[in-house]
Amino acid sequence: MITKNTFISAILTIMIAVGGNSAYAQDTTKTFVPILKYTADLVVNTHGGIKTGTVYQGYAEAGVEINPWKNGQFNFSIASTHGGLPTGTLIGDWQEMDNIEAADHIFALNAWYSHTIGKVTILAGLQDANDTYSTRDASCPLQNTAFGGNVVFMSGGNVPTMPTNGLGVTAMWNVSEAFKWQAGVFDGGVIGLDDGNRFNLKHKLSSSKGYLIVSEAHVMPADAMVLKAGAYYHTGLENRGYYASFENTFRLQGEQAINAFVTGGYSPHATDAATAAITAGCSLISLFSKSGADALTAGLATAHLDGHRWETALELNYRYQLGRYFFVSPDLQWILNPMGCVGAKNALVSTLRLGFEL
The candidate with the shortest Cα–Cα distance to 100, out of 75, 124, 83, is 83
DSSP state of 4: H
Alpha helices, H only, 88-229: 151-156
The candidate with the shortest Cα–Cα distance to 10, out of 30, 29, 38, 32, is 38
Cis amide linkage into residue 163, ω under 30° from 0: yes
Summarised one tens digit per residue, pLDDT across range 241-297 is 999 999 999 999 888 999 999 999 999 977 778 999 999 999 999 999 888 899 999
| Range name among 7-21, 234-248, 341-355 with the lowest pLDDT average | 7-21
CATH of 4-357, one of 3.40.50.300, 3.40.630.30, 3.40.50.10490, 2.40.160.180: 2.40.160.180
Summarised one tens digit per residue, pLDDT across range 61-106 is 999 999 999 899 999 999 999 999 999 999 999 999 999 999 999 9
d(CA 175, CA 194): 42
Summarised one tens digit per residue, pLDDT across range 24-72 is 333 334 799 999 999 999 999 999 999 999 999 999 999 999 999 989 9
Q: Identify the residue with better confidence: 16 or 112.
A: 112
Q: How far is CA 281 from CA 73, 139, 178, 263, 278, in A?
A: 34, 7, 24, 9, 11
d(CA 230, CA 243): 5
pLDDT at 8: 44
d(CA 108, CA 121): 24
d(CA 254, CA 301): 30
Alpha helices, H only, the chain: 4-20, 23-26, 151-156
d(CA 34, CA 66): 9
Quick check: 141 and 297 in contact, CB under 8 A? yes
